[in-house]
Amino acid sequence: MPARLPARLAVLLALVLALVLGLTGVGLVPAGAGEGTQAAPPSRAVQTAKAALTAARGALAGDGREATMALRDLALTRSSLVGEERAAADRILARPTDGPLDPEGYGLFVGSARKCTAVCVHWATSGRHAPPSADDDRDGVPDYAERALKILTKVHRTYVKAGYRPPKGDGSLGGDKRTDVYLADIGNQGLYGYCTSDEDLLVGSSPTLWAYCVLDNDYASSQYSQNTPLDNLRVTAAHEYFHAVQYAYDAGEDTWLLESTAAWVEDEVFPGIDDNLQYLLQSPLAQPRASLDESGSLARYGGWIFFRHLTERFPQAKGGLPTFVRDVWRQADSRRGAANRWSVQAVDRVLRKRGTSMRAAFARFAAENRRARTTYAEGRPNRYPNAPLADRAVLGARASTGWGTLRLDHLAAGTVRLEPKRGLGRAWDVRLELDLPSLVRGGAAVVTSKPRGGRVTSRLVRTDRDGDGTLRVPFGASEWVEVTLANTSSRYRCWQATSFACRGLPLDDQRIFRLKATTVR
């Protein structure tokens, strides 16, 4: 999980620098990317690996970068490094118990112990990384380590019962093949926790990785101002251990899918903590005109609300968790070879199996975010922000807005509200004329209306292939009519080292959406 809000500026500056250098993204082509896809030239691979090394060093030094993804990128690219840079990468990815291999991480665990169930928890027996010494049952295991093991065991069993693949075994590392979680003093580095891998991945091989995780050794309030120490342990364990599960499917998957589903699941396992609410200000609720799949900012976490929307709409569950996200990860499984789908493709495939599509679902999501507090089960008690309007107009008799224009990037949206002028008779309608991008370029619109004294209704507008359409909606008898314009495009030129899905260049950004509204009888 990332450093909390005070570290945002450092995160953003680091990401801007990465974009300027053209190094954002791992630069590896996931298995099953399709025939004709070419691997990055060696110089590009080395350059990307060096950038990953720099980012990982910064993350562990507490510069505000998100540690899990920085270390994930290093794990995926370190085989391109040689000499001292390869040795530095090996040291950074070494476990806290690996002695001399780990001078760049935490210092050394002078001595360590472990206890296991389905998961193994390791802790230092002395020094600053040791957890609090309290041991109420006098069994030689600190209470904090026992509590962490109990929480992680619950998390592991919850994911397995829900049908997720268990984390990949790591052979005899850490003592046996079970996933290892280390307790260490990472609060002074601005970190809550992370999962990474010390598996040596060869370029071109399927990016499934075993993982080990690191959690703080006490979550002391002096270092963590949000939540209680126990709640921070719970929510971080759920979030980070889900990364270990994801890595068993595809560690090279798009960052936005990795982080948004991890932020989603933490609230499913521990719904009373609501730690992920902090990301709503970087989500489509507050920023509807930002692309959903943007991974170069904290929006990668805010995307969890998209999966909350989908799992509330498709609530079928197994083992206490909605199956929708699990099915997305099954579609994104790198072991599927040529059938492996990257993030947006995987979501679209699961939606189609449920009778809809990414186009329709995203447009509906964008429209319903205008009423987030009533759309979502927790919207009102948790004060979800309603998506802001892009424009607003008040229309009287025989009035027209003229043609208005809105430019939208892919997987982004904007809403225009139309309100009848006071005194406009009930017999008046509003004629909506739409000139959208073609269907293949992602043009979509949803019309939502609120009759006076009635319930809100919405419908996806039917347009022709070119994106043109006209419809007439009751207006004088309505409190308002809203038109949500949505760029639902998921077309990319993939593997271009960007921060979007498939690390691709979106083909349909800044598309023009045109709307004209006229009152008629």
CATH number at residue 483: 2.60.120.510
Among candidate residues 388, 419, 436, the one where a domain is terminated: 388
> Residue 47 to residues 44, 378, 494: CA-CA distances in angstroms?
5, 45, 19
Residue 122 has pLDDT above 70, yes or no: yes
Are residues 469 and 400 located together in one domain of the fold?
A: yes
CA 316 to chain centre: 21
Residues of the chain above pLDDT 70, percent: 90
260, containing H or E segment: helix 255-269
Q: What is the pTM of this model?
A: 0.90
End-to-end CA distance of the chain: 56
- Residue 15: pLDDT band (50, 70, 90) is very low
CB 298 within 8 A of CB 278: no
Long-range contacts of 145-150 (CB under 8 A, 24+ apart): 145/115, 145/121, 145/183, 146/115, 147/230, 147/233, 148/121, 148/181, 148/183, 148/215, 148/233, 148/237, 149/115, 149/116, 149/117, 149/119, 149/121
Are residues 363 and 383 located together in one domain of the fold?
A: yes
CB 152 within 8 A of CB 310: no
CB 146 within 8 A of CB 134: no
Cα atoms in the 13 Å half-sphere on the side-chain side of 450: 11
493, containing H or E segment: strand 492-493
In-domain check, residue 57: no
- Residue 41: pLDDT band (50, 70, 90) is low
Question: Among residues 170, 178, 169, which one has the least CA distance to residue 149?
Answer: 178
Are residues 381 and 470 located together in one domain of the fold?
A: no
- Work out the angle at residue 82's Cα, subtended by the Cα atoms of residues 76 and 83, and round it to the nearest 5 degrees: 135
In-domain check, residue 113: no
Are residues 396 and 500 located together in one domain of the fold?
A: yes
In-domain check, residue 341: yes
Is 249 in a helix, a strand, or coil? Answer: helix
In-domain check, residue 9: no
Question: To the nearest whole number, what is the mean pLDDT of the chain?
Answer: 90
Are residues 340 and 407 located together in one domain of the fold?
A: no
At 442, list the tokens: 């992602």
Residue 32 has pLDDT above 60, yes or no: no
In-domain check, residue 374: yes
Residue 124, amino acid: A
In-domain check, residue 8: no
Are residues 450 and 407 located together in one domain of the fold?
A: yes
According to the model, what pLDDT value does residue 16 have?
32
Residue 44 has pLDDT above 80, yes or no: yes
Are residues 436 and 486 located together in one domain of the fold?
A: yes
Are residues 363 and 397 located together in one domain of the fold?
A: no
Are residues 514 and 396 located together in one domain of the fold?
A: yes
In-domain check, residue 461: yes
Residues 6+ apart with CB under 8 A from 227: 235, 273, 275
In-domain check, residue 116: no
Average pLDDT value for residue range 420-435: 97
Return d(Cα 232, Cα 422) in angstroms, integer. Answer: 52
Average pLDDT value for residue range 490-515: 96
292-345 pLDDT, tens digit each: 999 988 999 999 999 999 999 999 999 999 999 999 999 999 999 888 999 999
Among candidate residues 388, 411, 430, the one where a domain is terminated: 388
The count of structural domains within the chain is 2
Among candidate residues 388, 404, 429, the one where a domain is terminated: 388
Q: Which residues of 460-491 are buried (b: 16+ CB within 10 A; e: fewer)?
A: bbebeeebebebebbbbbbebbbbbbbbbbbe
211-232 pLDDT, tens digit each: 999 999 999 999 999 999 999 9
Q: Could you please report the per-residue DSSP string of 419-450?
A: EEPTT--TT-EEEEEEE---GGGTEEEEEEEE
- H helix runs in 61-117, sequence order: 67-77, 83-93
Are residues 372 and 419 located together in one domain of the fold?
A: no
Are residues 408 and 500 located together in one domain of the fold?
A: yes
According to the model, what pLDDT value does residue 109 have?
78
According to the model, what pLDDT value does residue 106 have?
59
The side-by-side arrangement of strands in the sheet containing 112-116 is 112-116, 120-124, 180-184, 212-216, 193-196
Positive or negative, the CA dihedral 292, 296, 302, 307 is positive
CB 366 within 8 A of CB 288: yes
Residue 35 has pLDDT above 70, yes or no: no
Are residues 515 and 404 located together in one domain of the fold?
A: yes
Boundaries of domain holding 304: 274-388
